[in-house]
Each structure stands twice: as C-alpha cells, then as structure tokens.
Amino acid sequence: MSKNHPPEFSFHVRPTTINDVEALGQFIEPFVAQGRLLPRTRDELEDLTEHGFAAFADGRIVGFAALEIYSAKLAELRSLAVSSEFQGHGVGKALVKACVDRAKERQVFEVMAITSSDEFFQRCGFDFTLPGEKKAVFLQTRETY
C-alpha cells in the first residue's frame, strides 16, 4: 500500500472521449517533463481517445493508456502513465487489460508495447518474443524526438 493513500483506495476505468482531451493533456504534462512520455498535440490526444482508457479516483484522472491499432495484425499500447501516488494499486494493470480487451474485440493479432518498464509488462502477460521467436528491433536516427 502506498503510504500516501488509504487502504480503501478505489478507482474505475472507462473509455476516453473527446471531452477528456484537455484533462488528459494536463495529466500527461509531468510525465512529458520527466521524459517518460512523448509530448502530444491536441490532435494527437484526440486520436488517442478513440481507443484510450482513463482511470479515475475521487473524480480525477490517475492513469491513462491508449491502444493504437495499425492493422488487423498489430496494435501498440501507448502512453501508459499512472500518477505516482496511485502506483502499486492495480491501476496500470487495469489500463493494460482494457487496451488488450479492446484489441481482442477488434480481433487484432498482436499487441506490442515500447517501454522502459519491461518487468511490469511481463507481469501483464507481455514477453520479449512471440511464438516463432519474432522480435522487434529498433534503430534511433537522432538524439532527441
């Protein structure tokens, strides 16, 4: 349990809408400032709300994640963030589950996540390889985004 939050902590997850864009922009600002998330324009946030999910506690956003569907074969779990004082309460897992469930509903074959928190994603069922030993490899073309 977080020392900053009582044991009766509760939250709910719901799909995001266009009406959430301003609040989402404010929510992700600290994560962008820390270099944990990429900056998002209003248009990008609007796009992410189509398959996005937010966690709410006490009427405020405490977590966000979105699924970007590229094709019937591949989707990416994007912009996962949970307020530090709400981490360790299942918020991140619930957001990942909501995105994976959306991928299943849309019959997307694979979901990937690019992350610096690989242990968290492994606890959510992700792994470094897919059946048949498929792996993603990357090449960075410049120092900053």
Domains delineated in the chain: 12-123 (3.40.630.30)
Q: Taking 70 as the threshold, does the pLDDT of residue 23 lie above it?
A: yes
**Are residues 67 and 77 in contact, defined by beta-carbon separation less than 8 angstroms?**
yes
Q: Is the confidence at residue 19, as pLDDT, over 80?
A: yes
CA dist., res. 130 & res. 27, Å (int): 33
Give the pLDDT confidence score for residue 126 in this predicted structure.
86
Residues 6+ apart with CB under 8 A from 141: none
Instruction: Determine the pLDDT at residue 140.
Output: 77
- Determine contact, residues 106/115, Cβ cutoff 8 Å: no
Distance in angstroms (rounded) separating the CA atoms of residues 69 and 73: 9
Check pLDDT > 70 for residue 13.
yes
Q: Give the global pTM.
A: 0.84
Task: Tell me the residue type at 87.
Answer: Q
What's the pLDDT score for residue 31?
93
Q: Are strands 60-69 and 52-57 parallel, antiparallel or unpaired?
A: antiparallel
Query: Which residue has better confidence, 52 or 131?
Result: 52
